[in-house]
Chain A
């Protein structure tokens, strides 16, 4: 059975933001909406995600630590497409659901915009409530022809670009990554790119204490 997942090699990511930009364009995302944010980390832990211009910081590349021992690394964060997604169980309309292939998605025609999923999700900032009619940077529609619609009064998040994978492509964030830091595929297939990337490597899953069992692996 297919169970899509992603691995992100934190030793290869150098914070170029290409994945975030590719996601933004491919999905024709309006202003103030980001499915994928690359945070700048100034400490060693995973307890908080760090800072990002997309989340209001003034810089993406300030190191922490001391002059002698600076700390600077990058943490790309998106929906973790969890095995036990807390957003699905709290959704009052069934708008948020888990597909058979493991992708957690939101049906905008059923979403009532109650934000229960945002509140229940332990991964801060991966979902966005579109409060009013979306505004765009460009006057023209960009990205894929079958990119998600963006509907006021609904909640959106990363779709793992299911429109792309359904026609045999990989998610947009994979396509432009210059560091080749992302691996994608079927976690149940030992020969898939993601399974081979994870094998034998140490990895971290975000907020494991929340019991959601994410399908995004951070390779260390």
Chain B
């Protein structure tokens, strides 16, 4: 097992959570509550509680329209499990709280942004359970926190001058596009209907393609510094398969539900392969 296995689990699960929440905010899957509900409904989601009722009646909306609390709950659970793993790579986990007093440290920044995202997810969950879909403003705040978490995750490795495989600009697209692609695919699992919609189809294909390019760029960089990059090639291949699956689903050659799950499985496996390869380069 790689020495940085806890970081592998943390960045994969927390990255999935962050990516899904950004996609959720971007596509307003279950509609937004409050004053923005109607516009979200027009944009393709289901507006507020009326939208949820409509979704329940037609059966078209999928789980998130009927149970708007399910996605924030899943994201919160993924983030929480990831955070449990985070201190396991420390020599003295019991001293972890000291780290929160040093805002310039990468691990502290990850903790701050994770906490911010966690609070938004918790509020979203409570609102969704009590009143239906959360306000768009809350989702936007959550998306900003999620993007911030992705940035500090990548930056923590970008500044690692002692590990040439990590300290390169390719680390940023690896994290951003990997997280966003698998996150968007997770959202499609909750909202199967999205797979057939033009806007989401284009976005998911674009994100998967960008993730593929990011894996390929990182593979070239790893080869340049003499690190093993075989898993990046596999990750890129899996991302290509995911693009084909999205296309087949859009064409109606795959059932929406099966297509969404298969795409998500492919992209999750791709990101996991890429992250494992990335952390394997660290031999301290």
- Flag if B92 contacts A112 (CB, 8 Å): yes
Number of A-B contacts (CB under 8 A): 84
A120-B159, A120-B160, A121-B161 are contacts. A92–B91 as well, Cβ < 8 Å?
no
| Residue B203 interfacial (CB < 8 Å) | no
**Residue A111 contacts which of B91, B101, B107, B161 (CB distance < 8 angstroms)?**
B91
Asked if residues B161 and A122 are in contact (CB atoms below 8 Å), the reply is yes
Tell whether A119 pairs with B166 under 8 Å between CB atoms, given A86-B161, A94-B101, A94-B102.
Answer: yes
State in angstroms the CA–CA spacing of A35 and B205 once bound together.
51
B119 at the interface (CB under 8 A from A): no
Is A210 on the interface with B (CB-CB < 8 A)? yes
Tell me the minimal C-beta distance from A19 to chain B in angstroms: 23
Closest chain-B Cβ to A67's Cβ sits at a distance in Å of 28
Which residues of A in the span 93-148 have a Cβ within 8 Å of any Cβ on B?
A: 93-94, 110-116, 118-124, 129-131
A2 surroundings in chain B (CB, below 8 A): none
Interface residue? A153 (CB, 8 A)? yes
Chain A CB within 8 A of B137 CB: no
Q: Are A115 and B284 in contact (CB under 8 A)?
A: yes
B122 at the interface (CB under 8 A from A): no
Q: Answer yes or no: A192 CB below 8 A from chain B CBs.
A: no
Counting CB contacts under 8 A, is B106 at the interface? Answer: yes
Q: Could you tell me if A210 and B90 are in contact, using CB atoms closer than 8 angstroms?
A: no
A124 touches B95 (CB 8 A): no
Find residues 149-169 in chain A having any chain B CB closer than 8 Å to their own CB.
152-155
B284 and A92: CB pair below 8 A? no
In Å, the complex CA distance between A30 and B159 comes to 30
Shortest beta-carbon distance from A37 to chain B in Å:
15
A188 to B95: give the CA distance in the assembly, Å: 37
Q: CB of A89 within 8 A of chain B?
A: yes
Q: Say whether A121 contacts B162, CB under 8 Å.
A: yes
Complex contact B160–A93 (CB within 8 A): no
- The answer, among B92, B95, B101, B107, for a CB contact under 8 Å with A116, is B107
**A55-88 contact mask (Cβ, 8 Å, vs B): 1 or 0:** 0000000000000000000000000000000100
Provide 25 A-B residue pairs closer than 8 Å at the C-beta atoms, listed in order of the A residue.
Answer: A86-B159, A86-B161, A89-B104, A90-B104, A91-B102, A92-B102, A92-B105, A92-B106, A92-B107, A93-B95, A93-B99, A93-B102, A94-B98, A94-B102, A112-B93, A112-B96, A113-B91, A114-B99, A114-B107, A119-B160, A119-B166, A120-B159, A120-B160, A122-B161, A129-B284
Chain B residues engaging chain A, CB cutoff 8 angstroms: 89-93, 95-96, 98-99, 101-102, 104-108, 156-157, 159-163, 166, 282, 284
Binding site for B on A (CB under 8 A): 86, 89-94, 110-116, 118-124, 129-131, 152-155, 210
